[in-house]
Amino acid sequence: MKITPDVLEEKRGGDHHGTMVVRHIRHIAGQIRVPGDKSVSHRSVILGGMASGKTSITGFLPSDDCLRTLAGFSRLGVQVWQPDPSSVQMDSPGFDSLREPDDILDFGNSGTAARLMCGVLAGTSFFSVMTGDDSLRKRPMGRVVIPLSTMGAMIDGPRSGNLLPLSIRGKPLKGITFFNAHKSAQVKSSILMAGLNATGPTTVEEPLQTRDHTERIIPLFGGTVFREGLKTTVYPGKLTGTPIEVPGDFSSAAFFIVLALITPSGSLTIEKVGLNPTRTALLKILASMGANSIRVDPSLSPLSSAEPSGTIHVSFSELKGIDVPPEWIPNAIDEIPALAACAACAEGTTVIRGAAELRVKESDRIHGIARALSSFGISCEEFPDGLAIHGKGPSPALKGGMIDSFSDHRIAMAMATLGTRLPEGEILTIRGTDFVSTSFPGFSEVFNQVASC
**Residue range 384-406, pLDDT digits in tens:** 999 999 999 998 889 988 999 99
Q: Strands 87-93, 79-84: parallel, antiparallel or unpaired by DSSP?
A: antiparallel
Q: Strands 309-315, 266-274: parallel, antiparallel or unpaired by DSSP?
A: antiparallel
| Amino acid found at 200 | G
pTM of the model: 0.93
Instruction: List Cα–Cα distances, 109 to 43, 65, 73, 259, 433, in angstroms.
Output: 16, 7, 17, 26, 13
Q: What is the largest CA-CA distance in the chain?
A: 64
Q: Please tell me the predicted confidence (pLDDT) of residue 9.
A: 29
Distance between the two ends of the chain, CA-based, in angstroms?
Answer: 5
Q: Please tell me the predicted confidence (pLDDT) of residue 185.
A: 95
Q: Please tell me the predicted confidence (pLDDT) of residue 453.
A: 61
Q: Please tell me the predicted confidence (pLDDT) of residue 444.
A: 87
**Residue range 142-151, pLDDT digits in tens:** 999 999 999 9
Cα–Cα distance between 377 and 120 in angstroms, integer? 46
Residue 229's contacts (CB-CB under 8 Å, 6 or more residues apart) are none
Cα–Cα distance between 29 and 6 in angstroms, integer? 23
Answer whether 54's CB lies under 8 Å from 25's CB: no
Buried/exposed code over 325-334 (b: 16+ C-beta within 10 A; e: otherwise) = eeebbbbbbb
Answer whether 3's CB lies under 8 Å from 9's CB: no
Cα–Cα distance between 407 and 420 in angstroms, integer? 20
Cα-based angle 326, 332, 336 (whole degrees, multiple of 5): 90
Q: Please tell me the predicted confidence (pLDDT) of residue 5.
A: 34
Task: Report the catalytic residues.
Answer: 334
Cα–Cα distance between 259 and 293 in angstroms, integer? 13
Domains and CATH numbers, the chain: 19-36+249-452 (3.65.10.10), 38-245 (3.65.10.10)
**Which residue numbers in the chain have pLDDT < 50?**
1-14
Buried/exposed code over 188-213 (b: 16+ C-beta within 10 A; e: otherwise) = bbbbbbbbbbbeeebbbbbeebbbbb
